[in-house]
Structure 1
Amino acid sequence: MEYEKYLAQAPDLIITYGTKILLALVIFIIGRWVAKILARIVRSILTKRGLDITVVGFMGNIVSAVVTVMTLIAVLGQLGVQTASLVAVLGAAGLAVGLALQGSLSNFASGVLLVAFRPAKAGDYIEAAGVAGVVEEISIFSTTLITPDNKRITCPNSSIMDGVIVNYSAKDTRRVDLTIGVSYDADLQQVKEVLTRVVTENELVLDNPGVTIEVGALADSSVNFVVRPWTKTADYWTVYFGLHAAIKIELDKAGIGIPYPQMDLHVQQLPKQ
């Protein structure tokens, strides 16, 4: 009978397909193990290079996903599925999805470039895509910034990579640029001595490189001095605000005027008719 025929073939079928299924299972287990090992190695290497923890996890997940996809293709091939046709179908589907998601793929590629070239990392204060803030996170498709007034801004990675990135935290030191205007009646040598004393007495100002204090411009109503000391990046705003206040106090003590815009009003009386 028909069923007796299938029963007679059962041992051969079990051996043939059972072996394929067993090998496919072994391939899947080994593939998953390799994916975890490679992801762990990538994370370890990137961590030793000092990359941000978010970037490390991002790259580790990508490696794990790529190896897993390759493992699944190998498993399907072991089970007798025509992987060439499957890859062609997946490629066509991927092309269609890629065309539909050009913006997202552009953000993904930009995220990879941000990770690879590291123009900024978590904790850096940057200016990019028309906004400024501290980098909180670099994810697959976007970068999150925290502004000085504690607002969270999410920028597409492509917007950041397509423009100029100004990283204020990249270097350990920064120059503080001040412009101080004094009256034309002031003794310029005395002004320079007062400015030099105020700057050198500030403990946060660095001795090397030295400070620049020179006449920068003869403006409409004032003689403008440029004052350019150097300080640690973390102390920038403390020095910036502190010097402004200290300079004003010392110039007042020395009797040196700081001009401000004034308007003279002339009243002319018309003759009587």
Structure 2
Amino acid sequence: MDEVIVQLKALALTEALPLLLKVIGALFLWFIGRTIIAGFRKVLDLGLQRRQLDPTLIRYVGSLFTGTLTLMLIVGILGLMGVETTSFAALIAAAGIAIGAAWSGLLANFAAGVFLLVLRPFRVGEEIEAGGVVGIVQEIGLFVTTLDTSDNVRIAVGNNQMFSDNIINYSHHPHRKMTVKVPLMYGVDVRVLQQALLERLPAVKGVQSTPEPQVEIAEFTVQGPILAVCIFCKPTEFNDTQANVGDAIAEVLLAVGYTVPMPALLAAPPPPLAKAG
């Protein structure tokens, strides 16, 4: 029994104790390394913020920087513990190839996200239409772009789908044009109605004075002419201004004693003529 205890003590001194010391050293290096990486991350974020870069780009670069240094720290700790890092690196490379083949779509989204951040076709907070979705950009992530629609629904669209589609940026310019068509019937004094609309539109909330509102005849139909009411407003106030313009047009039409013709009445056949005698 004494010999067994002596052997166990010898084994502990020769094998267990060095292993324990390596584990303690690895944990110490891990916490020290993570602290240093966090410090570098703060310095990097401050440097990018001083350059007034987009917050999304700052988070993107910071995450990539932290992930790369963390992976290097893990490889270094494994090397200090006696693990063969060359085989570990080969394993990572083989796993990367396998994952790349299986997740080709994710890699395409990742590459598209990089191009979106570099080319900057839109920014966070702007209203866009891309990938079949219309909404305000909330975040440009590594793989998806998050948008909030007008009905308060959050949608995540793959970066590759957005980058491969037409991107319509409604918020790029300081003002946006709105066109509202008003159908009329023949016999209406179009000039009087145009003048009444031009006098009313500048007072509508959200309508910009420059460029000035315009009221033109867009086309002629069988029932009568169609007016095109064109105004300019801020992109962020488009929906509210559209509602205000519609109310103003209805007020002007009622003021001049005109109501918009109903399609059912226009399509109804004329009454039959009474026969004489």
TM-score, normalised with respect to structure 1: 0.76
Q: Counterparts of 1:199-210 in structure 2 under 5 Å?
A: 199-210=201-212
Q: Which residue of 2 aligns with 1:62?
A: 64
Work out whether 1:51 is the aligned partner of 2:48: no
Deviation of 1:24 (Å): 8.4
Q: Which residue of 1 aligns with 2:267?
A: 263
Q: Counterparts of 1:1-150 in structure 2 under 5 Å?
A: 32=34, 34-48=36-50, 49-52=52-55, 55-77=57-79, 82-150=84-152
Q: Which residue of 2 aligns with 1:231?
A: 233
SS of residue in 1 equivalent to 2:207: coil
Deviation of 1:249 (Å): 1.8
SS of residue in 1 equivalent to 2:267: coil
C-alpha change, 1:267 and 1:26, in structure 2 (3 Å) is closer
C-alpha change, 1:259 and 1:222, in structure 2 (3 Å) is farther
Aligned residues of 2:205 and 2:244 also touching (Cα < 8 A):
no
Aligned residues of 1:213 and 1:227 also touching (Cα < 8 A):
yes
Specify the code of the residue in structure 1 equivalent to 2:173: K
Deviation of 1:217 (Å): 0.9
Work out whether 1:245 is the aligned partner of 2:228: no
Looking at structure 2, the residues matched to 125 and 179 of structure 1 have their Cα atoms a distance apart, in angstroms, of 24
CA shift digits 1:225-265 (9 cap, x unpaired): 22211112232222211111211221222234533321233
Q: Which residue of 2 aligns with 1:173?
A: 175
Looking at structure 2, the residues matched to 207 and 180 of structure 1 have their Cα atoms a distance apart, in angstroms, of 21
SS of residue in 2 equivalent to 1:126: strand
Deviation of 1:224 (Å): 1.4
Specify the code of the residue in structure 2 equivalent to 1:243: V
What are the ranges of 5 or more consecutive residues in structure 2 without an aligned counterpart?
A: 1-9, 14-21, 273-277
Work out whether 1:164 is the aligned partner of 2:176: no
RMSD: 3.5
Looking at structure 1, the residues matched to 185 and 62 of structure 2 have their Cα atoms a distance apart, in angstroms, of 62
TM-score, normalised with respect to structure 2: 0.75
Looking at structure 1, the residues matched to 36 and 119 of structure 2 have their Cα atoms a distance apart, in angstroms, of 27
Q: Which moved more, 1:34-43 or 1:86-95?
A: 34-43
Deviation of 1:84 (Å): 4.1
Deviation of 1:76 (Å): 4.5
Looking at structure 2, the residues matched to 255 and 22 of structure 1 have their Cα atoms a distance apart, in angstroms, of 89
Q: Which moved more, 1:198-207 or 1:116-125?
A: 116-125
SS of residue in 2 equivalent to 1:229: strand
Q: Which residue of 2 aligns with 1:155?
A: 157
Deviation of 1:65 (Å): 1.0
CA shift digits 1:62-114 (9 cap, x unpaired): 10111222333344556665544433332122111111111222222233333
Deviation of 1:206 (Å): 1.4
Q: Give identity over the alignment, percent.
A: 29
Aligned residues of 2:204 and 2:248 also touching (Cα < 8 A):
no
Aligned residues of 1:215 and 1:226 also touching (Cα < 8 A):
yes
